[in-house]
Amino acid sequence: MSSIFAQLNAELGGVVAGVQRSVVHVLNNRGGAGAGTIWHPDGLIVTNAHVIRGGAPRVRLPDGTIVEAEVIARDDQRDLAALAVQAHALPTIQPGSARRLQAGQWVFAIGHPWGIANAVTGGIIIGANRPLPELPQAGSEWVLVDLKLRPGNSGGPLIDTGGRMIGVNTIMTGLASGAAVSVDAAKAFLKQQLGSPVADTVLKNMPTEYV
């Protein structure tokens, strides 16, 4: 039995390590920081709008390089933002879908809580694909999770056990619970805000069940 757990641990560790290569550190001029994910190898990054409220964001790429970022789209209602950096051949996240998520499924959140780079926390889905009118960002669909999110997790990916991104970590809802904006809301945001040429480039290789 122990060998089964060892194999599972190794597989999940490999999945998380693969995703970590597509997670960036978003820095703003107020000294705050959050996370973001690379959606296109030529420098398109998705994060939360509240992560960049200080303006003039900079991004620490997976190789440690810090570059200036341009805010190319922002939606405060969804709490989403798209950034562009001058970089190429970057490792990208694999977007999944929140449409078929069920309560009890295992998930992982990656970010930089309290400045700890690429930290990982795990838990389960509480509920998915629903609006939460009581939260400030009322226009989004949410994935509710039973895991600990902390300052610095915002903008980072919530992933399933296959390494697919299912949400953008956004808000703490309790001591050991949080909520992520659905990745499907992030896709809609890109299509609406960036225009068809960019959106088509970003999404064209995505499996049809995830679009």
Which of 99, 100, 106 lies closest to 185 in space, CA to CA?
99
Which candidate in 40, 50, 97, 182 is catalytic?
50
Which candidate in 40, 75, 79, 182 is catalytic?
79
Which candidate in 22, 97, 140, 154 is catalytic?
154
Number of residues that this document lists for the chain: 211
User: CB–CB of 142/98 below 8 Å?
Assistant: no
42 is catalytic: no
88 is catalytic: no
146 is catalytic: no
Give catalytic residues, as residue numbers. 50, 79, 154
